[in-house]
Amino acid sequence: MRHHFASRLAMGGVDLNTIRELLGHSDYTMTLRYAHLAPEFKLKAVEVLDVAREAAMGGSKVLALVR
């Protein structure tokens, strides 16, 4: 249940420090064990890089390098 709680917060955009505090952890090591991201959220994170790169350079997409 803690995994689900932490993962849902992380996927909802809550920062790791807040999740750490909500779970009562003293450091990030344990929090990182609980806060897993679903694959589609990892893909969205890479897509952010694509948008930033295209805006800055008008170059090729970063996502093409990942796939």
Quick one: 48 and 28 in the same domain? Answer: no
48 class by beta-carbon count within 10 Å (0-12 exposed, 13-18 middle, 19+ buried): exposed
Q: What is the pLDDT of residue 12?
A: 87
Q: Which domain holds residue 54?
A: 38-67
- pLDDT tens for the chain, 67 residues: list them: 888 899 889 888 898 899 999 999 998 888 888 887 777 777 777 788 877 777 777 555 555 555 5
As for how many domains the chain has, the answer is 2
Distance between CA 28 and CA 66 in Å, rounded? Answer: 27
Per DSSP, helices labelled H in the chain are 2-11, 16-23, 28-34, 39-57, 63-66
Q: Are residues 27 and 5 in the same domain?
A: yes
